[in-house]
Amino acid sequence: MAINEKKIIEIALKHLNLVLEYNPYANFDKVSTRSDFIKVIKNDPAFANVGFACDKYVIARIGGNLITSLHRKLGDMYEEIFQYLLKETYLIDDTDFHYSVEVKIGDRKQTRSTDGLLRSNKFKEISIPSLKSDWRNSKGIAFELRSCYQIGDSKRIQADWDMALALKAQNIIPVMLITCATSLKSPITRLKRSWNLYEGVDTFQFIKELMKFDLLKFMEQNRNIISAPVKKIMANL
């Protein structure tokens, strides 16, 4: 089935536009702009006399929460785009798409569902030169999508590690696709030992091999449309 490029743009804008609803100053009384917040800081006894009443401090403090929200939506965006491409390319229905495994997070057991599953009955249609694991003799390939791995929490990293091991134990190849090239190095170094892990350009190359669709080129060609909500978001800081 042919990929609907308008659908990809629709998915991207759906997620990025949600962040436009975020009010970075909602937790502060009678504050709606950066100038308002600077006035508040000037009257704050802890901050007024140490040089914090300036644009850069406000952007760093208020922008931190906004960027966290933006990163989440970016992750949701890439996840849904990948799922759309995988489903359309291999004509996978929802009943065959996800696969769940049980992992332990701290003292709690939790069921984790993959972001996509390509079962072995589809393998005759594909070629993935960059995937070195013996995937053709597996039951399938399970995918986890991240926009960027910025989490240093040891329990979360351990859960991701265990998820890969649980998939391997069922003869399913675990593949983690991280779209950014600026993740925290420590968790990436560790998770590369349990996942077939790709970052940045390598992730987009993997997607191109798997779907025969150049998502990176598509994003570059449609940059002005896709980036429009983000430009508005940044103006809100």
| Residues 192/161, Cβ–Cβ less than 8 Å | no
Which tens digit of pLDDT belongs to each residue from 59-76?
888 888 788 888 899 999
Confidence of residue 1 (pLDDT cuts 50, 70, 90): low
Q: How far apart are CA 109 and CA 158, in angstroms?
A: 12
Q: How far apart are CA 172 and CA 118, in angstroms?
A: 10
Q: How far apart are CA 203 and CA 85, in angstroms?
A: 14
Write the burial class of residue 30 (CB in 10 Å: 0-12 exposed, 13-18 middle, 19+ buried).
exposed
- Please provide the average confidence, as pLDDT, over all residues in the chain: 90
**Is the pLDDT reported for residue 106 higher than 80?**
no
**pLDDT, position 40:** 93
Structural domain range at position 152: 5-235
* Mean pLDDT to the nearest integer, 203-213: 95
Number of domains in the chain: 1
* Residue partners of 92: CB distance under 8 A and separation at least 6: 86, 117, 118, 119, 122
**Is the pLDDT reported for residue 221 higher than 90?**
yes
**pLDDT, position 234:** 80
* Mean pLDDT to the nearest integer, 180-185: 94
From first CA to last CA, the distance across the chain in angstroms is 42
pLDDT higher for 104 or 13?
Answer: 13
pLDDT higher for 202 or 112?
Answer: 202
Q: Output the pTM of the full model.
A: 0.89
Give percent of the chain with pLDDT exceeding 90: 63
| Residues 146/76, Cβ–Cβ less than 8 Å | no
**pLDDT, position 9:** 97
Taking alpha carbons only, the member of 128, 185, 179, 121 closest to residue 151 is 185
